[in-house]
Amino acid sequence: MPKQVDHEARRQEIGAAVCRVMATRGLDAVSLRHVAAEAGVSMGRVQHYFGTKDEMLLFAFRLISERVAHRLGQVRRDTPQAFLRAVLVELLPISEAARAEAPVLAAFLAQAVVEPRLAEQLRAGSDEMVAFVAEQIRAARPEGDALRDAKALLAFTDGLMLQVLIGQVDRDSAVDLLDHQLARVLTTG
């Protein structure tokens, strides 16, 4: 009897290998050869599932986005303020999972500047996140422009993520700065 192959699982394995290569060696190192070696498969198998490097990158981006969404879905829902803080802290490279994902997300962000399809996906995910954060702000503080504040908080958090990654700001300082900014948003409306 022929062996059953789970094609989606194979694509997931290769996508995870793309993310590991990006996290350890950067976007420029993502090649058929490096991804195949990281995944422990032949270059032909990688080509079977992904016709181009861009297809691999888009799939890997969706994979990492799903991981982040899953992790954020695990955040405990207490008060709206505490929940919002926990979500924003989880976006910083502080937890082990976030430290593994952040370099990949930063590389995707840089690539999106020159890759319109990736930029489109980033914008769509960003719009969803802005709406979600705005909803939490409204629950914590009904007055004021929650949408504008959500955009500002997420931009601030993205900047902190990058600063932590390059060592400009340490993790404790990043959380302190985030707490400071969040307190301003939730008290000024």
pTM: 0.83
Could you tell me if 109 and 129 lie in one domain?
yes
Identify the CA nearest to 93 among candidates 7, 24, 157: 157
Q: What is the mean pLDDT of residues 152-177?
A: 96
Could you tell me if 93 and 143 lie in one domain?
yes
Could you tell me if 12 and 96 lie in one domain?
no
CA atoms within 13 A on the CB side of 123: 8
Number of domains in the chain: 2
Could you tell me if 133 and 144 lie in one domain?
yes
CATH of the domain at 67: 1.10.357.10
- Per DSSP, the three-state class of 78 is coil
pLDDT at 70 > cutoff 70 = yes
Q: What is the mean pLDDT of residues 43-51?
A: 91
> What was the pLDDT predicted at 166?
94
DSSP states along 23-75 = HHH-GGG--HHHHHHHHTS-HHHHHHH-SSHHHHHHHHHHHHHHHHHHHHHTS
Q: Which residues contact 98 (CB under 8 A, 6 or more apart)?
A: 71, 90, 91, 92
> What was the pLDDT predicted at 69?
87
By the 8 A CB rule, do 142 and 121 touch?
no
Could you tell me if 98 and 183 lie in one domain?
yes
Domain residues for the domain of 110 are: 54-187
Residue type present at position 2: P
* pLDDT-based confidence at residue 169 (cuts at 50, 70, 90): very high
Gap between the Cα atoms of 29 and 104, Å rounded: 12
Q: What is the mean pLDDT of residues 148-172?
A: 96
What is the percent of the chain with per-residue pLDDT over 70, rounded to a whole number? 97
pLDDT at 51 > cutoff 80 = yes
* pLDDT-based confidence at residue 3 (cuts at 50, 70, 90): low
Q: What is the DSSP letter of 169?
A: S
pLDDT tens, residue by residue, 87-132: 999 999 999 989 988 988 898 888 889 888 888 888 888 889 999 9
* pLDDT-based confidence at residue 2 (cuts at 50, 70, 90): low
Q: What is the mean pLDDT of residues 75-92?
A: 90
